[in-house]
């Protein structure tokens, strides 16, 4: 193997990333689909290879409840907390199923957003966390395309496996 490159085989795909890229922070966008599972595993594999700090971001549809006192819809803290618990449980399943023991879990952080468009939340989070790489599933409709066009960093777009 070329010492300046990292090669990884995932499923039937071989991908190479140059070891001299300054990847210290990774953002993985997930939406709890099979393609997101591939993005999750690929992102964490890259995180282990680079020793990168990693954020796993799940964006849900806006979570609102009607507040009769305020006479308007408001996001509820309890609803977001329940969503975070569900996403964390799913991540724990992926972790145990995926053989990701080499990844330092202290460097992996879960973020759940309950408002806004997924593409904008991903780009905004990438900017706020100053990430070097975004990993996202390519089958997320227009989300992946918008992220690729607007991201402040490189984007690794994971495609569905070919049958």
Q: What does the pLDDT look like over 118-131, one tens digit per residue?
A: 899 999 999 999 99
d(CA 16, CA 24): 17
Contacts of 22 (CB under 8 A, 6+ apart): 132
Beta strands in 31-131 (DSSP E): 53-59, 65-67, 72-74, 108-113
Q: Can you give the pLDDT at residue 45?
A: 85
Beta bridge partners of 8: 15
Q: Can you give the pLDDT at residue 30?
A: 87
* Domain annotation covers residue 77: yes
Residue 136 contacts residue 144 (beta carbons within 8 Å): yes
Task: Dig out the tokens for 31 from the structure.
Answer: 């939406």
* Domain annotation covers residue 12: no
d(CA 50, CA 109): 16
Q: Can you give the pLDDT at residue 23?
A: 92
Report residue 6: phi and psi, to 5°: -110, 130
* Domain annotation covers residue 17: no
Inform me whether the pLDDT recorded for 54 exceeds 90.
Answer: yes
143: Cα within 13 Å, side-chain hemisphere: 24
Q: Can you give the pLDDT at residue 1?
A: 35
Tell how many helices (H) and how many strands (E) occur in the chain.
4, 9
* Domain annotation covers residue 13: no
Residue 116 contacts residue 143 (beta carbons within 8 Å): no
* Domain annotation covers residue 9: no
Inform me whether the pLDDT recorded for 56 exceeds 80.
Answer: yes
Domain count, the chain: 1
Q: What is the mean pLDDT of residues 126-147?
A: 91
The whole domain housing 49 covers 22-158
* Domain annotation covers residue 28: yes
* Domain annotation covers residue 107: yes
Inform me whether the pLDDT recorded for 49 exceeds 60.
Answer: yes
Find the CATH number of the domain harbouring 130.
Answer: 3.40.50.620
Q: pTM above the 0.85 mark?
A: no
Q: Which comes out higher in pLDDT, residue 28 or 19?
A: 28
Task: Dig out the tokens for 8 from the structure.
Answer: 């990884």
Q: How confident is the model at residue 67 (pLDDT cuts 50, 70, 90)?
A: low
* Domain annotation covers residue 93: yes
């Amino acid at each position: 193997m070329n010492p300046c490159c990292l090669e990884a085989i995932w499923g039937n795909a071989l991908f190479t990333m140059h070891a001299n890229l300054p990847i210290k922070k990774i953002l993985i966008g997930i939406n709890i689909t099979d393609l997101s599972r591939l993005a999750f595993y690929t992102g964490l594999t890259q995180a282990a290879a680079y020793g990168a700090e990693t954020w796993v971001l799940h964006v849900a549809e806006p979570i609102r409840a009607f507040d009769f006192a305020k006479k308007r819809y408001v996001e509820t803290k309890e609803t977001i907390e329940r969503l975070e618990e569900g996403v964390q449980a799913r991540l724990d399943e992926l972790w145990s199923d995926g053989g990701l023991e080499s990844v330092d879990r202290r460097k992996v952080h879960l973020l759940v957003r309950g408002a806004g468009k997924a593409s904008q939340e991903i780009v905004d989070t990438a900017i706020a966390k100053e990430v070097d790489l975004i990993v996202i599933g390519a089958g997320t409709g227009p989300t992946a395309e918008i992220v690729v066009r607007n991201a402040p960093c490189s984007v690794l777009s994971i495609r569905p496996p070919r049958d």
